[in-house]
Every structure is written in C-alpha cells, then in structure tokens.
Structure 1
Amino acid sequence: MACQDYPVTTNIEWLNRAYSADGLPALRSLYDEWAASYDSDLSKADQNYVAPALAAATTAKYAGDLTSLKILDAGCGTGLVGAALANLGAKKIDGVDLSQGMLDVARKTNAYSVLETCDLSKPIEKNTDAYDVLTCIGTLTHAHVGPEVLSEFARIVKKDGWIIATVLDDIWEPVGYRAEIDKLVEANKVKLISADSGDYRKGAGVSARMVVLKVLS
C-alpha cells in the first residue's frame, strides 16, 4: 500500500529523503533520525507548516465539541495535530505512527491517551467503529501511504463520524486518492463533504486538499 509516485524535490533534505525512501524500513529509520528537529524544521518561515492547525480547526468545524469524542490521529508524527486538537478541547486522542522516534516526541505533548507504532500500509489493528473522528495529516504524500488506506479509515470510524485528511495537490489525482474516494462514495461508505485545495507548507508554496469525509456505514 506504500504510495509510489514520481520524484519530487523540496528545499528540506529530510523531505527529499522521505519522498524518495526505498521501502518502509528506510522510511521508519529516516523519521526516527529526523524526530528531534522535525518540528523546528517545518516551523521555519520557508516552510510554515500550517496543515496541523488548519486540520484541527476543520475537525472542530465539522465534528463540533471535541471534548467527548474519541479521535485517532493516524500518522501522528511528533504530535502537531494532537496538540492542536487538544488546544481546541479534545481529550481522548490516540496516535499511531510508523516511527517510534516520532512517537517519543509526540508523548511530550501530553495530548495523547495512547501512542502506538503502526504500519498504515497493512490492515490497522483497531476495532471496527472504534472512533468518532480520524485525522491523517501529512501522511498521504509522496512515497508514504497509498489511497487504499482510506477504506480502513472508514472501517475504523463510527457511522456519522468524520475523516479529516490532507492529500498533496500534486498526487490527488495521479496517485489515485480521488478515485479511491469516488469508489467509497459510490459504495455508500462515505459522503465527500469537501476536498478543497489550500495552504499546507505555506512558506514553501505547497498546497494540499483538506479532505472531509462523513462516514455512512
């Protein structure tokens, strides 16, 4: 399920390596190494990684009061999304990520109830209808996790729950994310509420779709 697509170059060497990683072991090792400086690297003016804050605001907009909702942050990384959700009142957030190094940093945010390693390219070891909301920000990107994971997300989220995910604009159609969502819509699994393009790494001029799905079954 790892997403294989065309080469891309950024102005952060860590991202260049991540976008061209040869398999999941290499990707895991890279993120373990990058974890210590990840937040500071992406907060610099030439990156201005706004996606986590925008995703948290989008979650609150559609899901409403976050206080009692059980949320899974899939591909949680260092916890930027979890921290943003917690700032908006969320209290029941679980996080999963490929990299233990990233999870070690995420733990320091105190935003998460549970943090576990997880390979999102395989069936996710979570019960069906386990969560009210699932967020996946920054993981549906070059050479990471492919569009097939979206059906797993729909399985994990309760009926009338929400999936909030970013998909980079340049892979939205070429890699098949749009097509996979269309399939889920046709199967009456989800309703596509929006997939508007907007800021992602604003300082670098990188945009992404903020995908909002309501789970129907």
Structure 2
Amino acid sequence: MVDASDGDANRHDISDSASELTRMTDADPQSLAAYYDKWAESYDADLPKMGYDAPVRAAAIMVAQDIAFDAPILDAGCGTGLTGQELARAGYTDLTGIDLSLESLQAAEAKGVYRHLKKRDMNKPLAFGDNGFAAVQCIGTLTYVREKRKLMAEFCRVVKRGGIVSFTHRADLYDDAFVKVLTATTRAGLWEQISHSDPMPYLPNHKDFGDK
C-alpha cells in the first residue's frame, strides 16, 4: 500500500512531459513532484521509445553481485516501478520503493512487485532504521538530489555491512563536485568502490540527450 505521509520516429512519438525533461534538472521538490505526477500516465510508454535501459542493467548488477533473491532491497527513486519490475523479473521478491511523486508511486503499486512503497524526499534523511537492506539502487534520480553526500551516507547507513549501493548519474552532471562526494564517502570508511562502468547512453532517442 502506498504511504503518502510524508529512431527519429520515436523522438516525435513521446509525450510533452518527456520532451520537457531538460527543464527539470534544477527544479525544486514541489515542481519536480508535480512534473512527475503529470508524466506518470505516459512514463512507461515514453521510456522505451527513448531507448532507456538502465533498469535492466541495474537488475543485472544485483544478480552479478550475488544479492540473495529474498533479500530486502531499497529502490530509491523508484518512479512508476520500472526498476522494481526488472528486479522482480530477475527474481527479487522483497522490494521497497520510495519516490517524490505520488502518482508515480500509485503506478508502481499497480505493478504488484513492491512489498512497501513510500512517498519520500531524498534530500531529507531516509525514514528507515540502520542496516535494514541488503542493497539499495538509485537509478536515474541523483540529478534531483541536492544533498548528495548526505544521501550517500544515508544509503550506507540503511544498507547492512557487505551490502551493495548501486546508482546511475548523468555524465554531464558527473563533475568535480560529484567526484568529491564519492571520494569523501570512501575516505569516511562508509563504502569501497567495487565496480564503475564506462559512460553509457542515457536516452539515445531523446532530442536533447540523444547525442550525449
């Protein structure tokens, strides 16, 4: 149950919300929630048209890192549940999703793959106890997090020792400040890097991201 307490042809065949994605990079949480609430209805149809495959890749990472299929996983920024859906297809059964958009959470709930779904702003502390998850994934969401260092520390807090923190970030935003966040988290002894991919296409069929 949702907890609301707190090709060229493809490029012309996506919703207006998808077309306006670049405008949201610096949006405040209220504007961001409203944007994704509006987009939720067509999101699942738009993403495949834009060539988005990060959820599939993210699920494969969990399998490759030997995360047990019955282990609890936090899907941070779960959106409409595309990420959770791929985890479920891979065999994972204990998924918790958090997102800022209530409409997206309701779409995720309809997929029937999450044990828990909660409305959360990841610029604030995560409302979970310590060491409660075997892994956390944050796919396609870091763009909108202002307090990235605090969020990474929170991920490390809620994931048990030996667990996995897996995330994606846009290459154009993978700047010196972001590198410092990762370095600081490592120096604090909160995690160690075990894998780092080369840059991959983000939205290859999106008019503003296709050439990046």
Q: Same fold (TM over 0.5)?
A: yes
1:41 pairs, out of 31, 36, 46, with 46
CA shift in 2, pair 1:173/1:117, >3 Å: same
- In the other structure, the counterpart of 1:103 is 105
Q: Which has the higher strand share?
A: 1
Q: Hey, which bits of structure 1, 4+ residues long, moved more than 6 A?
A: none
Preserved contact between residue 185 and residue 191 of structure 1 (Cα < 8 Å):
yes
User: How far, CA to CA, are the matches of 2:181 and 2:53 in structure 1?
Assistant: 26
**Unmatched tracts of structure 2, length 5 or more:** 1-16
Counting aligned pairs with the same residue, the percent is 34
Q: CA deviation at 1:109?
A: 1.2
- In the other structure, the counterpart of 2:23 is 17
CA shift in 2, pair 1:90/1:206, >3 Å: farther
User: How far, CA to CA, are the matches of 1:32 and 1:52 in structure 2?
Assistant: 20
**Unmatched tracts of structure 1, length 5 or more:** 1-10, 208-217
User: How far, CA to CA, are the matches of 1:35 and 1:109 in structure 2?
Assistant: 13
CA shift in 2, pair 1:54/1:188, >3 Å: same
What SS does the aligned partner of 1:181 have? Answer: helix
Q: CA deviation at 1:166?
A: 0.2
What SS does the aligned partner of 1:200 have? Answer: coil
Render the CA deviation track for 1:73-102: whole Å, top value 9, x for unaligned. Answer: 000000011000000110000000001000
User: How far, CA to CA, are the matches of 1:199 and 1:100 in structure 2?
Assistant: 28
Q: CA deviation at 1:14?
A: 3.3
User: How far, CA to CA, are the matches of 1:172 and 1:194 in structure 2?
Assistant: 16
CA shift in 2, pair 1:206/1:100, >3 Å: farther
Aligned residues: 190
* TM-score, normalisation: structure 1: 0.82
RMSD: 1.7
- In the other structure, the counterpart of 2:145 is 145
Preserved contact between residue 73 and residue 134 of structure 1 (Cα < 8 Å):
yes
CA shift in 2, pair 1:206/1:177, >3 Å: farther
Which residue type is aligned with residue 178 of structure 2? Y
Q: Which has the higher helix share?
A: 2
